[in-house]
Chains A and B, each alone.
Chain A
Amino acid sequence: MRKIRVVIAKPGLDGHDRGAKVIARALRDAGMEVIYTGLRQTPEQIVGAALQEDADAIGLSILSGAHNHICPRVMQLLKEHRLDDVLVVVGGIIPDVDVPKLKQMGIAAVFLPGSPMQEIVDFINRHVRSRVENI
């Protein structure tokens, strides 16, 4: 069985990359293949990376409040590229009222400040395992 492949991305103008980097390391230490895109990625670049890297999951780190613009665009582009089965999770500062909206558009989970790294590792393991096994 091949390793789970995760793209960790920082969309938008925000440069606060502490969370993205900590999570990237935790996923890597948990045995996943992690591709960190770096800062200021457009939705097009993020989906491009997922396509090129044959990603099983995408983790978006957003702290600036731009999630309502970025997430729908990422989900739409995934659909256009027939990557609907890629698991998308979001981490960062997301107001409670926005969480249901994000889930409705297909974001599998939203991890708020204080979420343990292990919880994120477990979530990705649980939800992409089936896809990885089919390959």
Chain B
Amino acid sequence: MKSATTETDKARWERETLQPALAQSPERAASFTTISLRPVDRLYAPDDLRDIDYGRHINHPGVFPYTRGIHPTGYRGKLWTMRQFAGFGTPEETNERYKQLLRAGGTGLSVAFDLPTLMGRDPDHALSLGEVGKCGVSIVSLADMERLFDGIALGDVTTSMTINSPAAMIFAMYLVVAEKQGADWRTLSGTIQNDILKEFIAQKEFIYPPRPSMRIITDIFAFCSKEVPRWNTISVSGYHIREAGATALQELAFTLRDGIEYVQYGIEAGLEVDDFVPRISFFFNAHSDFFEEIAKYRAARKIWAEVMRDRFGARQERAWKLRFHSQTAGVSLTAQQPYNNVIRTALQALSAILGGTNSLHTNSLDEALALPTAEAATLALRTQQIIAHETGVANVVDPLGGSYFVEQLTREMEEGALKYFESIDRMGGMVEAIEHGYPQREIAESAYRFQQAVERGDKVIVGVNDYVAEEDAPIPTLYIDETVAQRQIDRVETLRRERDHDKVSRALDALRRAATGRDNIMYPLVEATRAYATLGEMCDALRDVWGEYEEVPSI
């Protein structure tokens, strides 16, 4: 403790008020930590914020560095987009789910693809065995994409597609469907995830090695700034990094550092920062530790604004503003007492909203067991609507701004992230860090430490390691039957018989040539899509040129 002459107000409170109280009744634990095992103090007070300058570090919403949000009016102008991620089985089944979500008041679409699609394999490939239509919708060719969006005007909705290694191919299919519907590419809006770095780091759905994978991304940047200027070319994702076991800080740091890497590669490919950076968006996890999450989002906006302006010299405000989607934490859902998941999701959603998310997906209560049923998906959407319209939290911009705790935690998150940037910069960049296995090891370590904390009982998960029920009443779940695979296999066989073979092989040859040289691969991909080349064929053409990436297994 400091001497009496320089004693702060907080120190005096600790001596005069706190110590006698602690002497009478001790606290519940010797120390308290967030879900990321970050220690938190008992109390935050004006003393903690003495060296924070409001105008420079926080500032009003809509003003650099956007700590309090990118819109001056917060959600008073426009609520966040309620974008529910969905996809399963055949394109027709998923199309029906989309129409139901739009009827229920959903304001954007978000496509979940099955694993063969995510890995660029046709349903009749040996590795697709047992996986077709299971974790998302199966999309094999332009024909499936036409079925997926049948009766949905792509000029009027915004669509987010969670696709990474084959993002360019799936995007080409989307563009051709839009074109066939008569929509103008220049007015189309939506997002492709297209974030390959987090695949190497966490989700592990990679096809090509890191460097050609980065080239695909810069080709997409260049193509979109010319042809589809309102499209969000990448959604730099911390979601999967967090789900893989990262702490909130690691999620923040690795995601933003990935974003920096994409900007760096874009510049090296000859693009102008102010042209392509405004189309970069982000995707964060909304986990259970309420204030830590809010601080994470606020820190993310501040860091990005400063890095874009000061490190990359971006001059346009649009390039400084970090926009992000968020999704509640799938990993927090429990198979035990599944109705508890509704509460978890609601609280996580609230943190994302108080952190200023621009769009949000809320998970369904049954997702620790299977993909959601229609009823569970509707309830998840209702959760957002109740927060938006009944709680009043959307009526004031950044209502937690100025909270001693939130501002201090925001600052700590920022400082921690900048330290990670330094380590990664020293390795030569994120691609190099990944090649060394650095973020992968950091995340695996955090995952193990958290699991140990749960088993020791340091972290309570209601219904799992405490408040356990004798037996859970079963809840209805969605079951994907095996006929989906056969139907998709039959379809691709028919397609291969009926289409113009010469046209397909000419288009695939052109694709190989572009990949071998330096031409933008998006143009030959659009041509191959128009010829009804399958996703597997397009991905194979690039496998011929670039080979496949194999991760060295380590624990």
Contact = CB atoms under 8 A, between A and B. Distances in A.
Contacts of A24: 555
A99 to B, nearest CB: 12
B37 to A, nearest CB: 15
A123 B265 CA distance: 49
Given A64-B134, A65-B135, A65-B480, A28 B127 contact: no
B325 to A, nearest CB: 20
Most B-side CB within 10 Å, residue of A15, A22, A26, A66: A15
A118 B454 CA distance: 11
A108 interface: no
B203 A16 contact: yes
B130 A95 contact: no
Contacts of B336: 114
B374 interface: no
B403 interface: no
B479 A13 contact: no
Nearest to A97: B479
Contacts of A34: 555
A81 B206 CA distance: 32
B136 to A, nearest CB: 10
Nearest to B331: A18
B461 interface: yes
Contacts, number: 108
B555 A21 contact: yes
Interface stretch (A36-44, A82-90, A124-132): A36-44
B465 A116 contact: yes
B368 interface: yes
Nearest to A28: B555
B455 interface: yes
B555 A95 contact: no
B354 to A, nearest CB: 28
Interface stretch (B78-86, B113-121, B185-193, B516-524): B113-121
Interface residues of A, number: 38
A70 B126 CA distance: 12
A112 interface: yes
Given A65-B480, A66-B131, A93-B368, A36 B555 contact: yes
A14 interface: yes
Interface string B251-268: 000000000000000000
A95 B131 contact: no
A96 to B, nearest CB: 7
Contacts of B482: 68
Interface residues of B, number: 47
Interface stretch (B67-75, B444-452, B497-505): B444-452
Contacts of B480: 65
Nearest to B115: A13
Contacts of A22: 245, 444, 447-448, 451
Contacts of B385: none
B474 A96 contact: yes
B553 interface: yes
Contacts of B121: 13
Interface string B523-555: 000000000000000000000000000111111
A16 B331 CA distance: 11
B115 A12 contact: yes
Contacts of B129: 66, 69-70
Interface of B: 115-116, 118-119, 121, 126-131, 134-135, 199, 203-206, 243-245, 331, 334-336, 368-370, 444, 447-448, 451, 455, 461, 464-465, 474, 477, 479-480, 482, 550-555
15 contacts: A13-B119, A15-B203, A16-B203, A21-B448, A22-B444, A36-B553, A37-B553, A64-B131, A64-B135, A67-B130, A69-B129, A93-B369, A93-B370, A97-B479, A116-B465
Given A14-B131, A66-B130, 20 more contacts: A13-B115, A13-B121, A13-B127, A16-B203, A21-B447, A22-B245, A28-B555, A34-B555, A36-B553, A38-B552, A42-B126, A64-B115, A65-B370, A70-B129, A70-B130, A112-B335, A114-B335, A116-B455, A117-B451, A117-B455
Interface of A: 8, 12-18, 21-22, 24-26, 28, 34, 36-40, 42, 64-70, 93, 95-97, 112-114, 116-118
Pick the 4 closest A-B CB pairs, nearest first. Answer: A15-B204, A38-B553, A69-B130, A66-B130
